[in-house]
Amino acid sequence: MSILAVGTIGYDTVETRNGSVEAALGGSVSYFALAARYFAPVSVVAAVGTDFREGDRKLFAERAIDVRGMVTRDGPTFRWHGRYHEDMNVRDTISLALNVFADFSPDLLPDQRRSDFVFLANISPDLQQHVLGQVASPKVVAADTMNHWIANDRAALLRLLPRIDILTLNDEEARMLSGEHNLVKAGRAILKMGPDTVLVKRGEYGVLQFSREGLFATPAYPLEEVIDPTGAGDTFAGAFMGYIARKGGVSESALRTGVVYGCVLGSFVVEEFSVNRLAMLTWDDIERRYRGYLELTDSHHSRWTSQ
């Protein structure tokens, strides 16, 4: 079953202690789609500028990502320039230019309006609502958000929340949205705002999932080296949503396995700049790390009990 994803496609300049990259393919939907496509077909909705590189469009198309909804508008593509601190959990935005994305208000294609699975990446709640309103009867809707919208567009966000099934956000954003410092209280408070499932992304500390069944806590895949954390959250969401779509819907089992695949794909993307590693994975790479993840988080010691 295919996924409709709306968000940004852009060019990122990223500086980390391990080097830097200039005007590399980025944006929430780029990461999302390149992760989700390992699990289910993806159709993207985004605006790019006349400077968008043909090779980047091909990169999506060659991976069977439906780019009919990637419209080219007069002007430059969305650009972001960020710099990570020595502690890679912290970054500064040096510059941000919405460019052609500024007044983007997409009309979905007829077949996109019949999508069963919808992902609303981190864009304004009104734009998320505008897209969602065009989908006839979605089965599962997930959305991401960020501090900017929580602080400056709270009313629109609160209107959106009852219409979605799954919300992804990071720990600081969960605290901000709920007004609760404690993350368990925060997650439970956000459940009451509408979504059936809340995924709190904690970067290198893993994920807390709040669902109707209760809590699921799982660590990040421990890495010896992180080159560039950009896109880890959207990659997580892509693999997660991809797995849900492949399973055909939500169950506690699908949610948990989806979170694990999210952690697995998220661990790959940070190993290189931009989408370089994410775009080139094989199923064997993914399955090997998935099994590794299960082993290294295995407190049931199913593998070890014979010892």
- Rule CB under 8 A: say whether 259 interacts with a copy of itself: yes
Q: Quick one: which of 63, 73, 83, 185 contacts a copy of itself (CB under 8 A)?
A: 185
Q: Quick one: which of 226, 237, 239, 269 contacts a copy of itself (CB under 8 A)?
A: 226
In whole angstroms, what is the distance from residue 296 CA to residue 78 CA? 39
- Rule CB under 8 A: say whether 202 interacts with a copy of itself: yes
In whole angstroms, what is the distance from residue 62 CA to residue 59 CA? 5
Handedness of CA 113, 111, 30, 266 (dihedral sign): positive
Restricted to residues 54-73, the positions that interact with a copy of itself (CB under 8 A) are none
- Rule CB under 8 A: say whether 176 interacts with a copy of itself: no
Long-range contacts of 94-100 (CB under 8 A, 24+ apart): 94/13, 99/10, 99/49, 99/75, 100/47, 100/48, 100/49, 100/73, 100/74, 100/75, 100/76
Stretch that binds a copy of itself, among 49-57, 89-97, 132-140, 222-230 (CB under 8 A): 222-230
Helix (H) or strand (E) holding 11: strand 10-16
Stretch that binds a copy of itself, among 38-46, 102-110, 123-131, 247-255 (CB under 8 A): 247-255
- Rule CB under 8 A: say whether 24 interacts with a copy of itself: no
In whole angstroms, what is the distance from residue 17 CA to residue 85 CA? 7
Report, in Å, the least distance between residue 270 CB and a copy of itself: 12
- Rule CB under 8 A: say whether 284 interacts with a copy of itself: no
Report, in Å, the least distance between residue 217 CB and a copy of itself: 4
Q: Quick one: which of 50, 89, 152, 251 contacts a copy of itself (CB under 8 A)?
A: 251
Stretch that binds a copy of itself, among 56-64, 153-161, 265-273, 297-305 (CB under 8 A): 297-305
- Rule CB under 8 A: say whether 271 interacts with a copy of itself: no
Distances (CA, A) of 168 to 20, 165, 201, 240: 28, 10, 7, 10
SS3 127: helix
**Comparison of 29 and 250: residue with beta carbon closer to a copy of itself:** 250
User: CA torsion angle for 127, 250, 212, 199 (degrees, to 10)?
Assistant: -50
Q: Quick one: which of 208, 239, 269, 278 contacts a copy of itself (CB under 8 A)?
A: 208
**Comparison of 81 and 289: residue with beta carbon closer to a copy of itself:** 289
Distances (CA, A) of 225 to 45, 56, 228, 230, 297: 33, 27, 9, 14, 19
Report, in Å, the least distance between residue 125 CB and a copy of itself: 28
Q: Quick one: which of 219, 271, 272, 285 contacts a copy of itself (CB under 8 A)?
A: 219
Q: Quick one: which of 218, 276, 281, 285 contacts a copy of itself (CB under 8 A)?
A: 218
- Rule CB under 8 A: say whether 252 interacts with a copy of itself: yes
Helix (H) or strand (E) holding 72: strand 66-73
For the chain, helix, strand, coil in percent to 5 are: 40, 25, 35
- Beta-strand runs (E) in 172-213: 197-201, 207-211
Name the site residues for a copy of itself (rule: CB under 8 A): 86, 181-185, 202, 205-206, 208, 213-220, 222-226, 251-253, 256-257, 259-260, 293-302, 304-305, 307
